[in-house]
């Protein structure tokens, strides 16, 4: 296996480092970008890229989540309620996806990203906020909804978790990012366990990607403490909006 490590593997590791940096810095983005980067950047087949991306994103998010936890940027209550119900929603979404046209699902998801991105860009900076006090029922509904969309569309929920926490529970940006990292880790590693059981990945190449993403996630988590929350929120909003537009264009005008 070690002989298989070549320029393509190093390119994949570099691309996954970008994913890890985004996960640590923004609490999302990796699960949306990982598969396209692997397939378009290295020519990896989608069937192979999906389990690899889940494993890389899961471990990188876990590393980022631990870094955020040490800095006090994780709300355990939010992570537990949203993550737990998110897993249930993802299973339900996976079952429902068989009955709904993928184009309809994709356009709905792109539209949601556009709305959330625009809201984050337009949100005005405020004074530091208190920890979210949203009721458990609302938090569970958020988790279920995000998990449902994740299962329906086959993408991670980082781009939905962070905006939802900020816009619906008044969670500060730093803690929304940290909490999202923990939730993504749980969901991605669960998905990876299922995928790896069915389709064993190339562990040698994947190990290099994991190391690169994990180290980059630590850098991203540290960098996030140096940037103003307003700048992070604004930048995250533009990232969500841009990917939503690209996703919508891909659906409407396929290559």
- pLDDT tens-digit readout, 46-104: 667 878 888 888 898 888 889 889 989 899 988 999 988 888 887 787 788 678 776 77
Domain count of the fold of the chain: 1
Q: Give the pLDDT confidence of 110-169 residue by residue, as tens digits.
A: 787 788 788 778 765 544 454 445 688 888 888 888 778 767 766 667 777 888 888 888
DSSP string, 162-222: HHHHHHHH---HHHHHHHHHHHHHHHHHHHHHHHHHHS---HHHHHHHHHHHHHHHHHHHH
Find out whether 13 and 209 touch, Cβ atoms under 8 Å. Answer: yes
Smallest Cα–Cα separation from 25: which of 239, 232, 243? 232
pLDDT, tens digit (0-9, with 9 covering 90-100), for 6-30: 788 889 899 999 888 888 887 776 6
> Residues 196-229: pLDDT tens digits?
776 677 787 889 999 999 999 899 888 877 887 6
- Give the closest residue to 59 by CA, choosing from 177, 232, 191: 191
Residues 6+ apart with CB under 8 A from 173: 162, 166, 229, 232, 233, 236
For residue 195, give its domain range: 2-252
């Amino acid at each position: 296996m070690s002989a298989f490590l070549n320029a393509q593997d190093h390119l994949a590791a570099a691309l996954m480092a970008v994913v890890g940096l985004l996960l640590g810095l923004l609490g999302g983005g990796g699960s949306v970008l990982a598969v396209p980067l692997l397939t378009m950047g290295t020519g990896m087949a989608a069937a192979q890229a999906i389990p690899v991306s889940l494993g890389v994103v899961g471990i990188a998010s876990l590393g980022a989540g631990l870094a955020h936890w040490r800095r006090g940027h994780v709300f355990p209550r939010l992570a537990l309620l949203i993550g737990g119900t998110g897993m249930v929603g993802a299973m339900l979404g996976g079952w429902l996806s068989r009955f709904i046209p993928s184009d309809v699902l994709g356009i709905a998801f792109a539209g949601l990203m556009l709305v959330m991105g625009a809201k984050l860009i337009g949100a005005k900076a405020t004074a530091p906020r208190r920890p979210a006090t949203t009721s458990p029922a609302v938090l569970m509904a958020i988790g279920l909804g995000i998990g449902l969309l994740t299962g329906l569309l086959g993408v991670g929920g980082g781009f939905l978790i962070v905006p939802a926490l900020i816009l619906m529970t008044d969670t500060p940006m730093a803690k929304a990012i940290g909490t999202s990292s923990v939730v993504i880790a749980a969901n991605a590693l669960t998905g990876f366990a299922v995928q790896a059981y069915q389709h064993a990945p190339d562990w040698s190449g994947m190990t290099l990607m994991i190391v690169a993403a994990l180290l980059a996630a630590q850098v991203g988590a540290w960098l996030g403490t140096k940037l103003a929350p307003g700048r992070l929120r604004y930048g995250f909003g533009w990232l969500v909006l841009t990917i939503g537009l690209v996703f919508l264009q891909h659906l409407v005008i396929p290559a």
